[in-house]
Amino acid sequence: MMADKLRILIPKGRIFDKVSELFADAGFPIALPDRTYRPVFTVSWLDAKIMKPQNVGELLELGSHDVGFTGLDWLKESGAKVEELMDLGFDKVRIVAAVPNSMDETALRAKTLTVATEYVNLAGTWLKEAGYCYHVLRTYGATEVFPPDDADMIIDNTSSGQTMRDNGLSIIATLLESSTRFVASASALADSAKRRRIEELLMLFKAVLDGRERVMLEMNVAKSLFAALVSGLPAMRSPTVSPLYSDGNAILEGYAIKIAVRKNEVPDMIPHLKNLGATDIVEYDLRKVVL
C-alpha cells in the first residue's frame, strides 16, 4: 500500500543523476523507464516521483510526499516549511545580481530597474533592502539573455560566473550560496515508522559521502619502527593493527596496519609513511564509512 511507502521527490536533470548515484551507492539502485516520471527502486518501501526542484519544498509542506531533494535556493525562494536533514553538497551555486558591464552604481540608482529573474521572492527582498527602485520580470530560464535590451539587471544562479561574463555581465552582489539539500516534511517526521526509514537513509547517505572523501591505506611495518609510525597516523579513531603471519605463526618482528584517511591527505601521507618505515603500502577506495 502507498501509505506504507516512503514517498520521495527527486528533481529532474543534473540533480537526479547525482541523487540516483547516491541511492545506488547506498544500496538502492534506481531505474527510470523512458518517458516516465516514476523511478523504480529495488525495494518495495521506496516510491519516487520526478518533479522540478522549484516545486519540491511546497509539495513536501503540503504533505503529499515525505522527503525530497532540492536546492537551498528554491527552499528559500518558496519559503516552504520543511525540515532540512542534510546538505549533500551537490550542484553548488551562488544566487547573484549582475548588470551589463557598461552600467555603474550611479546609473542603477538613476532609474526604475527592470530586473529579470526566476527568483522573484529572493530578488524582491534583496532589491528592497538595497534601496533600488525596481520592477521584477519573471523569467523561465535563459535569464542571462535579457540584458541590455529587456532588463537592466538579472538575479540568477551561477557556479563559476563564466556564462555571465560571456554575455557581457558583471556580478555586483551575492544573495545566497546554495547546494542540494535532503529535506523532509513535518508530517513524515511525526510518523514513527517513516521517521525510522528516513533516519536509515540519512545514515546511509552520510556513510556514502564520508566514504567518497576517504581511502584506506594498508601497510606493513617492522616492530622496531611501529611506535614511531603509529604516533604519526591521522586515523579516524585508531589504526587497525595485526601481527604479520607466516605459515600460521605470528612473526613478532612486524605488524600490518590499516588506516582510513581523507583523499586530500594521501599525496603527503604516503611519502611520510614511507619515511617512517612503512612498506608494502596499498591504497583503495571505500564504499561507505559509518562514523
Residue 149: pLDDT band (50, 70, 90) is very high
Confidence at residue 235, expressed as pLDDT on a 0 to 100 scale: 60
Residues near 289 by beta carbon (within 8 Å), at least 6 away in sequence: 207, 210, 211, 214, 236, 260
Q: How far apart are CA 45 and CA 271, in angstroms?
A: 48
Q: 107 to each of 101, 148, 164, how far by Cα in Å? A: 12, 13, 20
Q: d(Cα 276, Cα 270) in Å, to the nearest integer?
A: 10
Closest CA to 174 of 139, 130, 137, 135: 130
DSSP state letter for 224 = G
- 3-state helix, strand and coil shares in percent for the chain, rounded to the nearest 5: 35, 35, 30
What tens digit of pLDDT does each residue of 95-122 get? 999 999 999 889 889 999 999 999 999 9
> Average pLDDT for residues 245-255, to the nearest whole number?
66
- Give the per-residue pLDDT at 15: 87
pLDDT tens digit sequence for 154-173? 999 999 888 889 989 999 99
Q: 181: closest CA among 80, 73, 289?
A: 73
Distance of CA 213 to CAs 45, 53, 219, 247, Å? 29, 26, 20, 37
Domains assigned to the chain: 2-87+181-190 (3.40.190.10), 93-178 (3.40.190.10), 214-285 (3.30.70.120)
pLDDT for residue 49 is more than 90: yes
pLDDT of 123 > 50? The answer is yes
* Nearest residue to 84 (alpha-carbon basis) of 212, 202, 190: 202
Q: Would you state the pLDDT for residue 236?
A: 56
Q: What pTM value is reported for the model?
A: 0.85
